[in-house]
Amino acid sequence: MVFPAERGLDLNPEDKKQAPQGLTHEDLVTLVGPDYQQLIFEPLKWLKIVQDISELEFKSPTGRHENSNGHYIIEQIIGNHRVYAYVLKPESRKDEKPIGKTSEHKHEDYEIEALEHYFLLRGAMSLCLNEEDQGIVQNVELSSEKNPHVLVRPRTYHQAEITENHALVLVVMPNAASIPEDRLHIPRARAA
């Protein structure tokens, strides 16, 4: 039996619940499959971003972002690109039903037009796109089997949510290495 302390899980003394933690390599193999690293590598090789899988910095345990259920396997600058790979899975939040979604955010122009290519490598998810300049809101249903790619334009608020048990997602931001971290993700301001 593995205890929470051995897996790097912290217990919140206030409510005795486990604080959200990252997934280990073994967790990812169980959840996504033993080929998850190869699934991430193949499109990056095809796009000529990397030539060898050893160029990728796989995290174990995975990283977490504020207000997101994403478990980030890769968060890396490669050449002039930003590359992210993450798994979304259902997780409980307070007294709500389990959900698996990322935070809602956008990318401003910062000397370049910050584009994001979303590649769904396994599973299914919905990507809600809200182009604030155009006043257009649309939900794009992505499936690793049928519709695995979508391009998110600059100044478009977007949020991913799983529609199956989990999703393995690769995000490539071409030519975005120069964008400072504090200017990269801009959350939607909520009305008070």
In a domain, 57, yes or no: yes
For 155-175, what is each residue's pLDDT tens digit? 888 889 998 889 999 999 999
Tell me whether residue 1 is in a domain.
no
The arithmetic mean of pLDDT across residues 3-26, rounded, is 50
Residue 104 belongs to a domain with what CATH number?
2.60.120.10
Per the domain annotation, does 6 fall within a domain?
Answer: no
The answer to whether residue 181 is domain-embedded is: no
**184 falls within a domain:** no
DSSP H stretches of helix in the chain? 25-31, 36-46, 181-184
- Does the structure show a pLDDT above 50 at 11? no
In DSSP terms, 187 is beta-bridged to: 105
Q: What is the pLDDT of residue 94?
A: 67
Residue numbers of the domain that contains 105: 17-175
The stretch 79-98 carries a mean pLDDT of 83
The domain tally of the chain equals 1
- Is-cis flag, bond preceding 20, omega within 30? no
What average pLDDT does the segment 87-91 reach?
88
Q: Does residue 189 lie in a domain region?
A: no
The residue that leads in pLDDT, 123 or 2, is 123
Nearest to 60 by CA among 92, 93, 85, 89: 85
Query: Using 50, 70 and 90 to split pLDDT, how confident is the model at 5?
Result: very low
Given a contact cutoff of 8 angstroms between Cβ atoms, the answer to whether 83 and 171 are in contact is yes
pTM of the model: 0.83
- Over residues 92-138, the pLDDT tens digits come to 766 666 678 888 888 776 677 789 999 999 999 999 998 776 777 88
To the nearest whole percent, how much of the chain has pLDDT over 70?
82
Place of tokens 């968060």: 75
User: 185 lies in a domain?
Assistant: no
Q: Confirm whether 122 is domain-assigned.
A: yes
pLDDT value, residue 190: 56
